[in-house]
Amino acid sequence: MQGGHMVVEGPLRLSSILNSSNLSSLPSLTKIVGTLGPKSRSVDTIEECLKSGMSVARFDFSWLDADYHQETLENLRIAMRNAKKLCAVMMDTVGPELQISNPTGNPIELKADDHVIITSNVTKQPSAQVLPVNYSGLVETVKEGDTIFLGQYLVTGNETTSVWLEVLQKKSDEDVICLVKNTATLAGYMFTMHISQVPVNLPTLSDNDKELISNWGAKNNVDFISLHYTRHAEDVRELRAFLDEQNLHQTQIFAKIETVEGLKHFDEILEEADGIIVSRGNLGIDLPPEKVFLFQKSALYKCNMAGKPAIITRVVDSMIRNLRPTRAEATDVANAVLDGTDGILLGAETLTGLYPIEAIRIVGRTCAEAETVYNQSLHFKRLVKHVGEPMSHAESVAYSAVRAAVKVKAALIVVFTSSGRAARLIAKYRPPVPVFAVVVPRLKTNSLKWSLTGSAQARQLLSVRGVYPVLASPKVATLGGSSEESGLKFALDHGKSLGLLKPNDQIVVFQKIGDSSVVKIVELAS
């Protein structure tokens, strides 16, 4: 292993190429995050997305308003009931994103070697001569020779829809003259602007973000917040404190790393965040393109060792307009799985792309194929060495559960949990079989009222590779309950209904009994 890369043992595995794919009703252990929007917000489309493998729905507030997203979320809830599938909700902050508004939506043609003025005067109308950006500190931030990139999606691989600029000189307190490096047509109502490797003096969590979280986020009790442009660990701490103020104590924070500044502080950010999103679109601008894969491998390896979920973006951009990904894109998805990613995030592919369902389906199938050749034993050994000795009690039992599952060739691991921590610990060791997390609700009080926890914890496990949460009845608290309410029977019946279990299969069961943690191996009756 080098930098977290998982090497496929070729001679042992390549015979599978000519075999038909044997995919179960669980499309892949790797999770898929779909961004819902204009092409993916109807009940029917969302229902098909769920059936195709989407486990987390992302709401991007760079696009449209809270009312629009609320309608989409209500459609998601109906689709979940129809499809009988859980789905988590991820809310994206906007943060210090530099935007150029194009109210008319008229295309703007830019020609290579022409000059264009970027201005902080937002009262000016956008044109091929002037582009107004929502950043009053523009002139103070840039210098001659800096690279500015702008477009609707940022680096889709098709440079006719996005443009590179070189800063030539500052013309005034508001204007910067730039050289157009490539011919492009800017289409749409909003373009994102990025200044390569230049820190922007704007807060990571903006006042607008806070307003959206305190209203839309709190109202809907969102499961995750994706913190755009995370640059320091303090950014995560600030958001955590704000979430506590909004009574969103259970909401998890995924730090989105998309600049060199965030890369430099990655270790501290990882320590504070609940998960990481490696945002390769902006990283491909801030870093030389040939360096992005190195950060991906390093970041995923560190997340794997810490046992925190990692998600990568920008994998099948060509599917925004095409029914099939390129061969390079399919290979990229597979390599991300071999690198250890927990999930794949689809942005424009499902937001505005023509084939949102097909994008989810083919990414899921590609992930599932890659998982069959993932070098689990190498990861297991590396993780055991990283954890060291003595192991904590919880860590050692999780380790034992996965080791037992491998040794007996178990079909399934069943873990009983209230917080989700036990399931995450097991997933950290990347078992080659699904982990059914039976989330048992817990009655809690804050001295004012009683409440049941469990549903949020179950949905949040949908971001973790290999874990499939099922929300149990509050009565399911022990392995040996009544025949109908037994947690184990509940989990096994679910496994059988999905076609994952057959008579005489071995199942590893992880459960806490009092102060003890127990690993058992049971055999499914014939």
Query: How far apart, in whole angstroms, are the C-alpha atoms of residue 371 and residue 410?
Result: 16
pLDDT in tens, the chain (526 residues): 444 455 555 444 554 565 656 555 567 999 999 999 999 999 999 999 999 999 999 999 988 899 999 999 999 999 999 999 999 999 999 999 899 999 998 999 999 999 999 999 999 999 999 999 999 999 999 999 999 999 876 555 456 788 999 999 999 999 999 999 999 999 888 888 999 999 999 999 999 999 999 999 999 999 999 999 999 999 999 999 999 999 999 999 999 999 999 999 999 999 999 999 999 988 888 888 899 999 999 999 999 999 999 999 999 999 998 999 999 999 999 999 999 999 999 998 999 899 999 999 999 999 999 999 999 999 999 999 999 989 988 899 999 999 999 999 999 999 998 899 999 999 999 999 999 999 988 766 666 665 567 789 999 999 999 999 988 776 654 444 443 346 788 888 888 888 888 899 999 999 877 777 889 999 988 7
Q: Which of 261, 352, 342, 271 is nearest to 300 (CA)?
A: 342
The answer to whether the Cα torsion of 299, 301, 304, 310 is positive or negative is: positive
- Write down the pLDDT at residue 168: 98
CA angle 424, 426, 432 (to 5 degrees): 120
Q: For residue 323, what are the contacts with CB-CB under 8 A and spacing of at least 6?
A: 354, 355, 358
Q: For residue 454, what are the contacts with CB-CB under 8 A and spacing of at least 6?
A: 418, 439, 440, 441, 442, 471, 472, 474
442 bridge partner residues: 453
Q: What are the pLDDT digits (tens) for 328-371?
A: 999 999 999 999 999 999 998 999 899 999 999 999 999 999 99
* Helices 292-306/327-339 angle, 10° precision: 30
Are 341 and 298 within 8 A, CB to CB?
Answer: no
Query: How far apart, in whole angstroms, are the C-alpha atoms of residue 452 and residue 296?
Result: 38
Q: What are the pLDDT digits (tens) for 202-261?
A: 999 999 999 999 999 999 999 999 999 999 999 999 999 999 999 999 999 999 999 999
Query: How far apart, in whole angstroms, are the C-alpha atoms of residue 175 and residue 121?
Result: 8
Q: For residue 373, what are the contacts with CB-CB under 8 A and spacing of at least 6?
A: 8, 9, 13, 16, 338
Structure tokens at 316: 């099948």
CA distances from 282 to 133, 148, 316, 361 (A): 18, 12, 16, 25
Query: How far apart, in whole angstroms, are the C-alpha atoms of residue 14 and residue 396?
Result: 34
pTM: 0.92
Query: How far apart, in whole angstroms, are the C-alpha atoms of residue 105 and residue 352?
Result: 16
Query: How far apart, in whole angstroms, are the C-alpha atoms of residue 235 and residue 243?
Result: 12
Are 250 and 240 within 8 A, CB to CB?
Answer: no
**Environment class of 513 (CB within 10 Å of its CB; exposed 0-12, middle 13-18, buried 19+):** exposed
The DSSP symbol for 54 reads E
